[in-house]
Amino acid sequence: MTNNLKLKIIFKHIKLILVVCFLMSALTIDINAKNFQPIGTVNPSKYIPAQKQIAESKNGMVTTQHFLATKVGEKILNQGGNAYDAAIAVGFTLAVVLPRAGNIGGGGFMVMHDSVTNQNYSIDYREMAPAKSFTKMYLNEDDSFNDKKLSTFGYLASGVPGTVAGFWEVHKKFGSLDWELLLEDAIYYAENGFEITPYMGDMLSKYKEKLSYFEPTNKIFMKHNPNFIGSKLVQKDLANTLKLIAAKGKDGFYEGEVAQKIAHEMQKNGGLITENDLKNYTPKWRKPLISDYRDNKIITMGPPSSGGVHIIQMLNILENYDLKQIGHNTTDYINLLAEVMKYAYADRSKHLGDPDFFDVPILEITNKKYAKSIKNKIKIGESTPSSKIMPGLFEDNESFETTHFSVADKYGNVVSSTYTLNSTFGSGVTIKGTGILMNNEMDDFSAAPGIPNQFGLLGAKANEIQPFKRPLSSMSPTIVMRDNQLFFTTGSPGGSRIITAVLQSILNIIDFDMNLEEANKSKRIHHQWQPDILQIEFSLNDATREKLRGLNYNVEVIDPATCIQTIMYKNNMYYGYGDFRRPDAFASGDIYD
């Protein structure tokens, strides 16, 4: 061996040791951090919902989780913009007025139907693992789990954000108005502030410990503590960041001073994201998943979203039943849905991941013969313990603070988009001097087989951490077409509950002929295989509880964790509804001719 070769090998080993030491120093920073728990609960039933009735319009519809963002989307449509323009404006505005979930420091998915091409599109602008990440970065030397806080709180929890790049790509392909115009209102609300609603004020109070830990975050969000309600939330640094994005497009975020500040703060505080990570981030156009259910076309997001795959899988099973005859939310109906959900989430635990790194068996999971094989295992009136349900074999806690928005325009273009910081207020980190709240999406990877994430979801090798990989998600933006035109859009926040909430919204409208208000107000159930718990919203009468317990279900009544944002097109009219579960949610159809 030559001396030069020996030196190269030694240098390589030194580099590896330095990287490991760097990462361990990052772990040390957060090991001593507090275990933040929200203070109390925020039950939406105590607030007056912004949505009083179903919105109607002939010329388009916007529905979001905050009434100010809805009005911005409506304004863009009135200025002659299309659904894509309005969706981008809504997304940037939510980053300001809904900071617990709306973001430019996170990522998501968008599903679109384009009226000009009569084609369906989807874009993956999910976060990516930084180049310095590695499979066992959250584990001890013996492969035991180190500390859940490491993947959920602080600088080490963040993946490379994708939102700005995703919006930029959509605008390049479909946008009709000037990019700068789409950020005007977001900049205005960031610079001048907006009034904190009672619901938002209570959310800030609930998470004040998390929001107080890092000084840049504390300075912005705790300024009015404890008197939030009626005060204005002003975000000057975020306004300046948005101005740079407005002027320079994608480069205003991924290069230059914003990228430098993100990289600097990450390096200083033990995070992994570098300037190169930001510069090299690219969203990905992916083929949407398309299936049919009772003569309706389901258009939804494919991996690394797990939502679309398993919504199709569950619909394939359920189309073998007469759900109307079984009866909505009867004991038999809840029993059937719970069993179907168990099988889907069992498959999710093993087979779903980033398709750029893992061969996801989409065709097998969504095959109707496979659905019938599961159907044959289900007997209404019986419950199969989760321990006896295994992921299918083939021959060949996401916090609840995601947010969804839907837009439809008078031209027939439809956008259904879900994006997130992951848990409420993401990692708790605001990048100093930028106003950008960062995600904690690294927790959506599997730290190791058998170790659940913050939502209790299990994963396997398919979703292990690798550099440049995108973590698995439950986000499920979906468009349903009937007779070659929009029937309705649907999507929701809610972590692991997103998939089942979207499923039930589809069943409520198609199988039970509900209007949007009825479909949204119906009680939702959830079962995700592990843990073996059947969750039901709001309340449960004693008779139903006893029947379900008689089937050996472990029943838990929960506060709402989802929020469906829906648009329907029927008889040449658009209808919209903002789910009361998030009181500031609002749909508007006051679109001018």
CA distance linking residue 549 with residue 555, whole number of Å: 7
Q: Are 269 and 318 in contact (CB under 8 A)?
A: no
Name residue 174's amino acid: F
Angle between helices 179-192 and 67-78 (to 10 degrees): 150
CA distance linking residue 478 with residue 488, whole number of Å: 9
Query: What tokens appear for 556 in the block?
Result: 């838990």
- Per residue, the 3-state secondary structure of 145-214, as one string, reads ECCCHHHHCCHHHCCECCHHHHHHHHHHHHCCCCHHHHHHHHHHHHHHCEECCHHHHHHHHHCHHHHHHC
CA distance linking residue 392 with residue 373, whole number of Å: 10
Label residues 336-374 b or e (16+ Cβ within 10 Å = b).
Answer: bbbbbbbbbbbbbbbbbbbbebbebbbebbbbbebbeeb
- Please tell me the number of Cα atoms within 13 Å of 586 on its side-chain side: 20
Region of 270 on the Ramachandran plot (φ > 0 left; ψ -120 to 50 alpha; else beta): left
CA distance linking residue 574 with residue 589, whole number of Å: 7
Q: Are 209 and 43 in contact (CB under 8 A)?
A: no
Any idea what the Cα angle at residue 324 is, between residues 323 and 325, rounded to 5°? 90
- Please tell me the number of Cα atoms within 13 Å of 212 on its side-chain side: 15
Name residue 255's amino acid: E
Terminal Cα distance for the chain, rounded = 79
Q: Shortest CA distance to 190 belongs to which of 79, 271, 92?
A: 92
Active site residues: 402
CA distance linking residue 81 with residue 64, whole number of Å: 17
Any idea what the Cα angle at residue 104 is, between residues 282 and 214, rounded to 5°? 120
CA distance linking residue 481 with residue 9, whole number of Å: 59
Name residue 242's amino acid: L
Alpha-carbon dihedral of residues 314, 315, 321, 325, nearest 10 degrees? 110
Query: What tokens appear for 159 in the block?
Result: 């993946």
Q: Are 267 and 273 in contact (CB under 8 A)?
A: no
**3-state class (DSSP) for residue 21:** helix
CA distance linking residue 444 with residue 424, whole number of Å: 14
Task: Write phi, then psi, for 146 (nearest 5 degrees).
Answer: -75, -70
